[in-house]
Amino acid sequence: MKRRDIVMGLTAAAAVPAVGLATDAQASGAGGGRGGSGPLTIEEQGSFAVGGTVITTPGIFDPRHPTDPAGQTLHGDHARVFFQKPVRARKLPLVLWHGYKQSGAGWGTTPDGREGFQTIFLRRRFAVYTLDQPRRGSAGQTTVSTATDATTSDQWFYNQFRFGLWPDTYPGGQFPQGPEAREQFFRSMLPDTGPIDGEVLANGVSALFDEIGPGILVTHSHAGGFGWDATMRNRNIKAVVALEPGSGFVFPEGEVPDPMPSSAGTLAGEAVPLKEFRRLTEVPIVVYYGDNIPTEPTDIAGRDNWRVRLAMARLFVDAVNRHGGDATLVHLPEIGITGNSHFLFSDLNNVRIADQISDFLAKKGLAR
């Protein structure tokens, strides 16, 4: 890597808490229930910014008038990345890309304090890069200002993320329950500091893969569609694991399905040139969706929203495979895993979800 702030050679004796590597059997992706708990040895960790742009106000900077923007620059629209590498790291790292109203911190721990995917996969000997996308969280420096959204919306998102129908939870639901977990989740939500710009986001993540080389992209929710875009533009992305992608489903020109109406609004696919789409046929793709997604229309927008997204995702996977790709959609209740919310990686069974991903990566030869 060219730019990084690093701490190397962390062990159990170091000031930063270390974490004992998972056994080879645990890390291989075989078996189930592999949570890991003991110390973990981290060979290297650090953080850095990647991508972005610099804007300049015309004029000449005058140190006697430092608040005059003339001649001054602003560095913004970059992504910010935190990474950890275990001892004997596997060849391909994971890049974890958060969804809407979230940041990279959401991968680190669950609302009830259990290990998140960041540590679960570190235990399985994957180097892990968690990012804050441009104009969010620690990457909040933006070149285009916008009003901060302070709309009261907790209950909307509670339903939208399928924790239940406010204030109730779904029977058998896997999202952590209780007032403390709910409080922690709501306080993890973040506004955007600038307009959401797909080009800015995909360019930032593509720049990350330019920096670190080949790896596996793991997206959640709103990042799903931008993830397809980043994959089409960067050949260092060797596989995509998409957790409940919510928009931005791409199709070759002339093959875009009809828009799908729902009580949450109409979902439309996006056309891209076939030459670009074919890039998605060159990497293994797996898409996961959780539970409590209706099969028939409903006037509860937070639920109907996912009915059409699951349906569009099936058509997306079919399109990839029709053009010779290797895409799989896993609707977890169909394989006997029930109760999952939109936040599969935070749910009470997040280790079991990680097992599914580990097994997929091993099957595709991506866990060497």
Residue range 221-256, pLDDT digits in tens: 999 999 999 999 999 999 999 999 999 999 999 999
How far apart are the C-alpha atoms of 219 and 247, rounded to whole Å? 12
Tokens 């099957």: give the residue.
Answer: 363
pLDDT > 50? residue 16: no
In terms of residues, how long is the chain?
368
Among 224, 243, 225, CA closest to 332: 243
Distance, CA of 103 to CA of 138 (rounded, Å): 8
Please, what are the domains in the chain? 5-363 (3.40.50.1820)
Handedness of CA 291, 296, 302, 306 (dihedral sign): positive
Q: What is the pLDDT of residue 37?
A: 73
Nearest C-alpha neighbor of 217 from the set 297, 98, 299 = 98
pLDDT tens digits along 129-179: 999 999 999 999 999 999 999 999 999 999 999 999 999 999 999 999 999
Give me the pLDDT at residue 36, please: 62
Mean pLDDT of 287-310: 98
- From 352, 103, 336, select the one nearest 344 (Cα to Cα): 352
86 in Cβ contact with 125 (< 8 Å): yes
33 — pLDDT class (breaks 50, 70, 90): very low
pLDDT of residue 31: 32
For residue 362, pLDDT beyond 80: yes
- Whether residue 108 contacts residue 79, with contact meaning beta carbons closer than 8 Å, is answered with no
- Return the percent helix, strand and coil in the chain, to nearest 5: 30, 20, 50
* pTM for the predicted model, two decimal places: 0.92
Q: How far apart are CA 364 and CA 241, in angstroms?
A: 12
pLDDT at position 28 over 80:
no
